[in-house]
Chain A
Amino acid sequence: MEKPIFDFGMNINRRHFLSKMSLGLGSAALGSLLIPDIFKGGEETSVNDIVSGLPHFAPKAKRVIYLFQNGAPSQYELFDHKPLLNKMFGENLPESVRGGQRLTGMTANQTSFPLAGSIFNFAQHGHSGAWVSELLPHTARIADDLCFIKSMNTDAINHDPALTFFQSGAQVGSRPSMGAWLSYGLGSENQNLPAFCVLLSRGIGNGQGVYSKLWTNGFLDSVHQGVQFSSGENPVLYLGDPDGMDRSERREMLDKLAALNEGTFAEYQDPEIVTKIQQYEMAFRMQAAVPEITDMSKEPESIVKLYGPDCLVPGTYAANCLLARKLSEQGVRFVQLYHQGWDGHSNLPKEIRAQSMDVDQASAALVTDLKQRGLLDETLVIWGGEFGRTNYCQGKFSREDYGRDHHPRAFTIWMAGGGIKPGISYGETDDFGYNIIKDPVHVHDLHATILNQLGLDHEKLVFKHQGRRYRLTDVAGKLVKGIIA
């Protein structure tokens, strides 16, 4: 077992030597290099690199698009249909159901916990009969393509630690996020784009912010860091040439620069200089590739119709969904979207209606679009927030208006494609929706399963840092076999 890994390591190193030291200068022979090395630069190969690049087994999915619903959407208004809550409307949550669950500081001093049923109507959809509320008509239509996990649970009860936990498997600290792990483990499929891209948008609901820690490389090499795309004039920071500089002028400047750097290399023989020349070439190619991908003007009418007119407005969730498809199609390993605004502590019915409008059509369109391109089988799409919401009301309370606090113990997400069973609902909560009664899925389990679909054994994808072997699933995580096709 050790032997093949060692041999593989030899190859990696040999390749590394070749790519860094024996490359013809100035020829910019980048196409000849193996792709995973291209977006990589810097320091020496470490023993960790030897572990990477090894899919542990045949992958079902090649890429991931994660539609993160930041702020925690209420499962009661969208997926987890609990008529009992309407029946018991206003009654106190029985202590036996709460079972000592800790509360956030926002409701800890509340004297009662009045149950609040959803004001929205639910119906079953598709052959699978999945429950989806009236807020998500487009999602309901593709129910048979989706796998609803009704039994998600997490350890954290506040946004920042919960988000961080979902991204990195740890509530605090700067551990690498999921996209960084995949970039590290599998590299990039496209030599002109980073392996891990991040897209941000925001609805009108109560938002909780995002932060670059969520797409950090942690202790992994910083080439694995998520690259944040922005909706401004430069989709990637500093991508655009300054005013008055056209492509041919940039080419000319880079040729002069390469000649100067070659001179330095002749003097010092430092392989980092060769890498530097390559990275300028890569930058030049990115300058062409990225605007091409972010340009929505050439999208056919049918696509605009599918995603909705917002997809032509940069920075909207719909535009990001379309961009995610395009990036993914071009081989970007992990596209991470964040859509803010789901934190419905008060005024929840109104806010969630608007939030749902923002995301419903485009989320469903993404799945449909991938499917019609034959890409859904190899692309894993995930939709969900960092925790769920309480079945009782926080603050002001009436039939039409209520709020819900954070609930880590049970919530719903959905997955599609990438070798996940379509058209099923997995796991169950009790009649109060408060506790899981069947097939719980913890965040670590979800991580293990995502990695599995990409051909990675979560216990083997490790990185040794400061004396400890770290992994995305920390010291836990079980494959959720019941959702794997």
Chain B
Amino acid sequence: MSLQNFTKYFFGIAILVGSAISCFQCIHTKKGGRGSGEVSYSFQVRPVLSDKCFACHGPDAKHREAGLRLDVAESAYAKLRDGKGFAIVPGNAEASEVYKRIISVDADYQMPTPESHLGLLTKDEVEVLRKWISQGAKYEKHWAFVAPKQSALPEVGDESWPRNEIDYFTLAKMGEVGLEPNEPAGQEQLIKRLSLDLTGLAPSPDLQKKFQDGDTEQRYEKIVDELLSQPSYGEKMAVHWLDIARYGDSFGYQNDHSRTQWPWRDWVINAFNRNMPYDRFVTWQLAGDMLPNAGKEQILATAFLRNHKYNEEAGIILEEYRIEYNLDKTKTVSSGLMGLTVECGQCHDHKYDPISQEDYYRLFAFFNNSKEKGQDKIQGGVAVAPILEVTDAERKSVLNFINSADTSTIWVSVMSENDTLRPTHVLNRGVYDAPGKVVTASSLKSVMPFDTTKYAKNRLGLAGWMFNKNNPLTARVFVNRIWQEFFGRGIVKSAGDFGMQGDLPSHPALLDWLAVDFMNHGWNVKRLVKQIVTSATYRQSSRLTEAKKEKDPENIYLSRGARYRVPAEMVRDIVLSTSGLLNPEIGGASVKPYQPKGLWEGSTANRGDLTKYVQDTAGQLYRRGLYTFVKVTLPPPAMIVFDASNRDHCEVKRQKTNTPLQALIMLNDPAVLEASRVLAERTVGGKMPVEEKVRQLFQRIVCRRPTEKEVDLLVGYYHSELAKFSKDQQKAGKVLNVGDFVHEKGVRKDQAAALMRVINTIYNMEETITKS
């Protein structure tokens, strides 16, 4: 391999493995982002120390070796316990024990030790530490624990490119790494992207046409506003929130009865649609029941904390599970809302972040005063106390966003506080029956002090702490998550971990700018979304060139539009919306569309009301993906195969895989076949030439005009299939015999079957279920 090739590969890998160190180094050496080679503690040094050293020389007091901490200056600069030298001598790497050990080849002396299995430092990492120590070994607070500040917009070479502030940051970064933005996306590509991103649905032929009639700035904005005001916007936004809130339609452990948390889901959709400010949206979910004059709606919102699983097994030890549920709440709030993984603190001091076991149980204490027991009377669909009764009358008045055809009362598990405070103990080793010291509720002090003169020691106080503008995490984490929805990757890639082991932001200044802007404008979600989709960054073409593939295969630097397969729910929604089968009804009890036979039956313990899958009928078969019933112990397979969350626990980021099982679903799932059949039956006949029909169908499903080559190929396919079916009408009938939807009358079966095959082929195109 030539040196040049080696460098290319090396660069590729550096990006691929997300080794921020190497990337940032490239940047700094190229453009001198931070001046003449000054090493950044937060961005270059700490990731190395955190990854390789903190496990034994970090915050966890119980597993600290040689009494040495490398995460705080005082300890790192102090004389070593054995009296022989200093771990770090600022300004003198060669005299520093740390440096001597990381370059040593002596297994008895080197660090990390072979027993740690952490592996030695790479050459680059060693060099970063050497430079940092030589430059004075200055420590800084972890970037994510310092409140964001809005910096001035960076200077850019091409002032004509940016459409809004976002673009200054991205263009400047592209400049630093030697990339240039792509051309703007074509109108067809852009309207599909916009429609999928804002409503989760493919653009209707009407919308596609409307968009074509001109692309002036004003017109684009108008269409964005129109899409934001559609009820389907709330449905699209709800999906990622349901993942965070581990929303499911059953209790989740082995017996797995159904439950009725869905009125909360309807509330979420509604809240997004009426653009409830994010601070209120979350405050209600954390502590709606504790607000002065809390109404039913505020209490309903707290179902967020109760969506986790409940063990219905006979003979469980109640306290064990009561604790378990609170651990889950703690995890959901920390990972989902604060972007921190704190679970380590359940058993011991955090090894990487400055979060002690005591800190953990102080956070846990906010949820420990809930009235719920480890297990209560659970019957099919009836929630565990404390519960909220939602009557039909309320659904017609104060809770009119809840969709229910049935008039009977619905029960939802919600939050309610004990009258007298239940003491919270630090649990030794995290075990429920090993209580230690008693602690009171307080949030993570290393993030921001929890000032008890300002905040009550309860969930409402926690919400107040979270939405203080000096809280360094809340806005950043949410802005990042929304960014991830549009670009497929957050500015911080590890969307659920902003701690020291998390990824560093690719565009730190942009993240901070957006976070501050978001807070300064009243936590306005629609405004944030609009900022993103009106940026030039968002509107680029997704075309990939050889050069960009090599330089930035992951599109970290955003020099092209995002291109990726859509999430599971959207796969379904695209099929339903483009075929005309979609039932646009919003909310209500979850539905059971087609599912392969025997799945629930094969796994059930024969207890509970979900032992058999009873498929829905008629219109309920054509509801959007987010309404598909999630039996937590056996979630809908077609969704899971496309990487949907199994809703077992809080999930902030889905994977994006590309597997043969996905191909099988698109080829053979009756839902896709039925959509193809119905669309075929509606299209055959009449005087329109086949070429034109194919063009229109293609436009409708793929949302662009087909090329001549594509038309020829599909028309050729149509004719060859037609020839076959004309000779065998019975076979045509068999092919068409799929799905419950009523057949069109008077269609020629051979033509319909041939066209159905053409349509099914179009549905299977990579482009059809790709946002590009």
Contact = CB atoms under 8 A, between A and B. Distances in A.
A74 to B, nearest CB: 16
A243 interface: yes
A301 interface: no
Contacts of A271: 549
A286 B660 CA distance: 8
A293 interface: no
B633 A222 contact: no
Contact of B494 (A225, A283, A466): A466
B497 interface: yes
Given A158-B315, A200-B603, A466-B497, A44 B659 contact: no
Contact of A237 (B18, B564, B607, B661): B661
Given A105-B315, A237-B661, A242 B501 contact: no
* Interface size range on B against A: 35 or more
A45 B17 contact: yes
Contacts of B311: 158, 160
Interface string A220-237: 011101011011111011
A443 interface: no
B381 interface: no
Contacts of B655: 42-43, 221-222
A23 to B, nearest CB: 14
Contacts of B544: 268-270
A9 B16 CA distance: 11
Nearest to B341: A466
Interface in B351-380: 351-353
Given A158-B313, A173-B649, A257-B764, A211 B18 contact: no
A368 interface: no
A270 B341 CA distance: 33
B704 to A, nearest CB: 10
A406 B315 CA distance: 10
Contact of A279 (B13, B122, B660): B660
A212 to B, nearest CB: 5
Contacts of A17: 12
B565 A272 contact: yes
A10 interface: yes
Interface in B588-609: 596-599, 602-607
Nearest to B720: A252
Contact of B120 (A2, A253, A270): A2
B635 to A, nearest CB: 7
A212 B634 contact: yes
Interface string A1-12: 110011001100
Interface string B757-772: 1001110111100101
Nearest to B733: A244
A41 B661 CA distance: 11
Contact of B640 (A212, A260, A286): A212
Nearest to A14: B9
B176 interface: no
Interface stretch (A202-210, A430-438, A448-456): A202-210
A39 B602 contact: no
B500 A467 contact: yes
Interface string A179-211: 000000000000000000000100000011111
A160 B313 contact: yes
B598 A268 contact: no
A263 interface: yes
A209 B658 contact: no
B659 A41 contact: yes
Interface in A167-186: 172-174
A104 B316 CA distance: 6
A169 B28 CA distance: 43
Nearest to A156: B320
Nearest to B503: A467
Nearest to A217: B655
Interface in B658-702: 658-665, 667-670, 673
Given A158-B311, A160-B313, A260 B668 contact: no
A50 interface: yes
A242 B120 contact: no
Contacts of B181: none
Contacts of B664: 236-239, 283, 286-287
Nearest to B605: A209
Interface stretch (B38-46, B251-259, B472-480, B523-531): B251-259
A282 to B, nearest CB: 4
Contacts of B549: 21, 269, 271
A107 B314 CA distance: 11
Given A41-B658, A275-B658, A279-B663, A13 B9 contact: yes
A71 B667 CA distance: 38
Contact of A268 (B253, B314, B542): B542
Nearest to B10: A10
Nearest to A234: B596
B382 interface: no
B713 A174 contact: no
Given A14-B9, A213-B648, A231-B598, A276 B545 contact: no
Given A105-B317, A236-B664, A212 B635 contact: yes
Interface stretch (B156-164, B230-238, B734-742): B734-742
A183 B97 CA distance: 41
Interface in A277-328: 277, 279-280, 282-283, 286-287, 315
Contacts of A102: 317, 433
Nearest to A315: B602
A240 interface: yes
Interface string B604-640: 1111000000000000000000000000111101101
Contact of A160 (B16, B253, B598): B253
Given A211-B632, A279-B662, A466-B341, 5 more contacts: A2-B120, A10-B9, A14-B9, A46-B16, A256-B713
The 5 closest A-B pairs by CB, nearest first: A467-B501, A209-B605, A211-B633, A41-B658, A42-B657
Interface of A: 1-2, 5-6, 9-10, 13-14, 17, 21, 39, 41-47, 50, 102, 104-108, 157-160, 172-174, 200, 207-213, 216, 221-223, 225, 227-228, 230-234, 236-245, 250, 252-253, 256-257, 259-261, 263-264, 267-273, 275-277, 279-280, 282-283, 286-287, 315, 340, 405-406, 459-460, 462, 466-468
5 contacts: A17-B12, A160-B253, A209-B605, A212-B640, A241-B667
